[in-house]
Amino acid sequence: MNAEYINPFLESAKIVIEQVVQIRPATGQLGVKDVKFVENYIWIQIGLNGQLNGDIVLGLSEEVAIKMVSAMMGGFAISEMDEMGKSAISELGNMISGNASTMLFNQGVRVDITPPKVLHSAQSAGFEAKKALTIPLIMDGIGELDIQVLIAS
């Protein structure tokens, strides 16, 4: 697993979050950890095919997702992750993955991305526990979004 593959997703997430949430996230510590899908979390799964094969998984607590969606909607406070909220989080994943695939292409890495899947429970994710390269983005006043790279190339 190569750390350089996480950088386009990290940079893209920082740019997109700053644009749509109006907060410049700080970067946490890069590491390798066991992927554990816990409840009350929102997972955005983006598949990679081509020179890289695997998944990028963006994980955030439901509380953080609600705060991000509220910020994306111009401060209109939402209280639960309804269909509109899931759609907004899915679009966030779409914007991040689209920008990241362009960055990878510019680095000479040819990869196709799947549309993001928003998963609201560990069981629906269908993932087995495995190791991932992970880095958290820390958003002041909102919380953390965890970027996890599961590449089987």
Model confidence pLDDT, tens digit, residues 35-91: 766 778 888 888 889 988 888 888 889 999 999 999 988 888 888 888 888 899 999
What is residue 17's predicted lDDT score, i.e. its pLDDT?
94
Say yes or no to pLDDT of 125 above 50. Answer: yes
Q: Please report whether residue 12 resides in a domain.
A: yes
CA angle 31, 37, 41 (to 5 degrees): 100
Identify the CATH number of the domain in which residue 37 sits.
3.40.1550.10
**Residue 81: φ, ψ to 5°:** -85, 85
- Single out the residue of 150, 131, 135, 129 nearest to residue 31, CA to CA: 135
Residue range of the domain that includes 66: 6-23+32-151
Establish if 1 belongs to a structural domain. Answer: no
Say if 127 falls within a structural domain: yes
Q: What is the pTM of this model?
A: 0.85
The enclosing H or E element of 153 equals none
Residue 87 lies in a domain: yes
Residue 13 lies in a domain: yes
What is the structure's pLDDT at 27? 93
93: which 2 tokens?
A: 């994943």
Of residues 4 and 137, more confidence is placed in: 137
Q: How many domains does the chain have?
A: 1
